[in-house]
Amino acid sequence: MTVQYQIEGRTAADIAFSVEAGLRGGHLAPGAALPPVRGLAGDLGVSPATVAAAYRSLRERGVVETAGRNGTRVRARPPLQLREARRLPPPPGALDLSAGEPDARLLPPLTDALRRLDGVPVPYAAAGPLAALLDAARPRLAPVDARFVTVTGGALDGIERALSAHLRPGDRVAVEDPGWANLLDLVAALGLTPVPVPVDDDGPAEAGLRDALAAGVLAVVVTTRAQNPTGAAVTRDRCRALRRLLSARPDVLVVEDDHAAELSSAPLRPLAGSTRSWAFVRSVSKPYGPDLRLALLAGDEATVARVEGRMRVGTGWVSTVLQRIVLDLWSDPAVPPLVARAASAYAARREALLAALRSRGLPAFGRTGINVWVPVTDETAAVTRLRDEGYAVAPGALYRLASAPGLRITVSPLDLGGVEPLAAAVARAVRPPTTARTA
């Protein structure tokens, strides 16, 4: 059914803004059909090319999708920035367990690294990936083959560049479900078609990947460990099974996200190298700080060369200041104990919350990482009840395509003393007491 909201505007930018305003205000429902290009052009008194340009802009930002003969529709899963704009801020005094941030108290301080910077300006000709950083990175990425490695502006930037190096709009990509919200938005913004692969504690399900490959995906994106939002980690047996499936499809691009890096207690079981084209991306943000927008990307020679070549005609390079700070942190003997302390603290908080939830009969998942996933029947009701009790958690709708509802609870702001009260609140939110019927 075509929407009744009145889209306005005389330029492509104004028309696109009007559609986004309707979505933010709740006047356009996810999945709603937009007017045909020529029909809206006639209503607004503009050319069809202007409306087509507006729709194209919205499609590139992941707001709408083309539904073939069914025209253009608002995405059933609106983009993250629009969802965040509609999201209520945590109530005053509430504990925010929704953001997915590392605990700032556990991040290594940057003061000494900044003090040790030599301050010598770097000219254009000398900029790019620092050889010393790449040399230091190679052994850290083991057992991944890091003969070819480069630097990108964070994990999502590296994933985007790897996908863009091989795929075109319309191509199918296998993604974890539930999976990282930003990745799902990126896939939509690139005009790619997501094919959901179910996830359990051991990583992507073998049957799910088999079905996705049979559906003709040209790329697979997987989180090796500390999967967001479920905390899954690929085990040895699952790794072998997935590699067998992928080795039979050497044309498929495999992109791995190892964002937790040193914070994960689970051993790394990479899928890298199971196909001809692959990229392994490791960010430094979780262990060392979100403001260090830097990730290492190892891959086959062609993929790394394409990523570097595309970067040269865009942003050029990741700041050598950032690269030198990261290299300094890696070289500072005082830093590894701090990262190890953070890993232990996150594990203790996560495991305590899992135990407290399970003791109350609630299924919960979180083998690694900083998040716990709690299946629920009604996300909206559970989130609202928890807000009323002073806790902000993330609704699973942010991370789901076809999987069942749930809540994502980030444990990094949680102290051990707060675990039991939180678990009790979650139990009340998920299973509220029934009101006795009066005679």
Query: Which of the four pLDDT bands, split at 50, 70 and 90, describes residue 74?
Result: confident
Describe the strand order of the beta sheet including 406-410 as a list of residue ranges. 371-375, 406-410, 394-395
Interval 293-313 mean pLDDT: 94
Are both 82-105+336-430 and 120-331 of the same fold?
no
CATH pick for 12-78 out of 3.90.930.60, 1.10.10.10, 3.40.50.880, 3.30.70.790: 1.10.10.10
Weakest-pLDDT range from 76-90, 138-152, 240-254? 76-90
Checking DSSP bridges between strand 149-152 and strand 295-299, what pairing results, if any?
Answer: antiparallel
Interior CA angle at 342 toward 337 and 345, to 5°?
125
Between 3.90.700.10, 3.20.20.120, 3.40.640.10, 3.10.620.30, what CATH number should domain 120-331 receive?
3.40.640.10
Going by pLDDT thresholds of 50, 70 and 90, the confidence category of residue 110 is very high
What pTM was estimated for this model as a whole? 0.84
Higher pLDDT, 121 or 413: 413
- For residue 126, the 8-state DSSP code is G
Indicate the angle between helix axes 181-189 and 155-166, nearest 10 degrees: 30
CB < 8 Å & 24+ apart, contacts of 79-88: 79/185, 79/188, 79/189, 80/181, 80/182, 80/185, 80/398, 82/20, 82/23, 82/24, 83/398, 85/24, 86/24, 86/26, 88/387
- pLDDT score for 434: 62
Q: Report whether 401 contacts 175 (CB < 8 A).
A: yes
Scanning the structure block, which residue is given the tokens 């799902």?
Answer: 184
Give the model confidence (pLDDT) of 188-204 as tens digits: 888 888 999 999 999 99
| Whether the Cβ atoms of residue 33 and residue 19 lie closer than 8 Å to each other | no
Residues of the chain above pLDDT 90, percent: 73
32 confidence band (pLDDT: 50, 70, 90): confident
Residue 126 CB contacts under 8 Å (≥ 6 apart), including other chains: none
Assigned architecture for domain 82-105+336-430: Alpha-Beta Complex (3.90)
Domain extents for the chain? 12-78, 82-105+336-430, 120-331
pLDDT given at position 439: 38
How confident is the model over 341-361, as pLDDT tens digits?
999 999 999 999 999 999 999
